[in-house]
Structure 1
Amino acid sequence: MNSKLWKLSHKLYAHGYRRVGRTLELIYNVLNANSISTEAEIGCNTVFFYHGLGCVVHRDCIIGDNCKIFGNVTIGCKWSNGVNDGKPPHIGDNVLIGAGTVILGDIYVGENSIIGANTTVITDVPEKLYCDWKSGKN
């Protein structure tokens, strides 16, 4: 992750200083107009371009190493009829996620995949696959 403030809040939260970690998370979210949870597991060298402007990442989400994530991306759980349908996605290593992408549900995005801008992903994405909104499916 490219923010020292987020890294610090994540470290504090993980080591039992939950209140301080959450407070720093809130400051980070307000400064950068996003909601990237301190509890999320985000790998080394993963970059949220433009400080994650408009991004939302679920607290139980796992994002691998060396991922590149552009603005206005949502990574979270599926909801139907006001009920949470399970876990958030697991993103593999070296994944590029284009601006405006929505990734929902208990799915896996394979390593070295590319997800084009404004794509909605609700099924597993195999490794080394290019996925975009035109295809209608992965």
Structure 2
Amino acid sequence: MLKAIRQDLKAVFDRDPAATSRLEVILTYAGFHALLIYRIAHWLKSYNVPFVPRALSQLARWLTGIEIHPSAKIGTGFFIDHGMGVVIGETAEVGDYVTLFQGVTLGGTGKERGKRHPTLGNHVVVGAGAKILGGIKIGDNVKIGANSVVIKNVPPNSTVIGVPARVIKTQGERLPDVTMDQTNLPDPISDRFAALEQELIELRKKLEQRDSQLPF
């Protein structure tokens, strides 16, 4: 547990340029506070300690606005940026070096029993407000755009956006960074409208050419 906590602290400095000192992170970062309490609650849960793990989870929710079920499984180097509104369900599994932004939900659909929350691979980045629902699997090195709703499995090395989310980029090798440029994500709907507009322009040109060739 102590090794995981050290990795979580290191992840803050690796991925947040605003972090200036260990003391500042330890005293003022809500995401780190929530994760620290989760580590303790999860350790107690693993020893079948009753009541206390859930009580700690609710305390963290009250203090930080972040809710992490003590039964969730979270790897090392986990980073929650800002974090308000983040919810991680009971059967969720999160790999190593994953980043979540504020408002992210790793939730269920309300219909399943057993494994009803998502599994995230390593080096996954989830944008602000995204919802990942159900017992689905998100591969390694996946980037999920802000406010996307993911309800199907996502292959490794992909970028997904939209409601419902669709894969808009897949690479055969690991993406080179662990951050996400939210301002330059492709918009498939806008791209489709642009393609339709171009088709209309070309059709108008053909009609004008045909009309100019008519004898009357």
Which residue, 96, 102, 126 being the options, matches 2:131? 102
Identity %: 29
Deviation at 1:134, TM superposition (A): 7.8
User: TM-score, normalization: structure 1?
Assistant: 0.88
Q: How many residues were matched structurally?
A: 133
* CA root-mean-square deviation: 1.7
Higher helix share: 2
2:104 corresponds to which letter in structure 1? Answer: V
Higher relative contact order (CA 8 A, sep 6+): 1
Structure 1 residue aligned with 2:76: 44
Structure 1 residue aligned with 2:112: 85
Unaligned runs of 5+ in 2: 1-7, 9-31, 168-216
Q: What is the alpha-carbon distance in structure 2 between the residues aligned to residue 8 and residue 41 of structure 1?
A: 12
Which residue, 118, 123, 126 being the options, matches 2:152? 123
1:88 corresponds to which letter in structure 2? Answer: H
- 1:20 matched to 2:52? The reply is yes
Q: Per-residue CA shift, 1:39-59, capped at 9, x if unaligned?
A: 100111111112x31011110
User: TM-score, normalization: structure 2?
Assistant: 0.58
Structure 1's 28 and 113: CA in aligned 2 closer, same or farther, altered over 3 A?
Answer: same
Unaligned runs of 5+ in 1: none
Q: Per-residue CA shift, 1:75-119, capped at 9, x if unaligned?
A: 11123xxxx135211111110000000111121100001001110
Higher strand share: 1
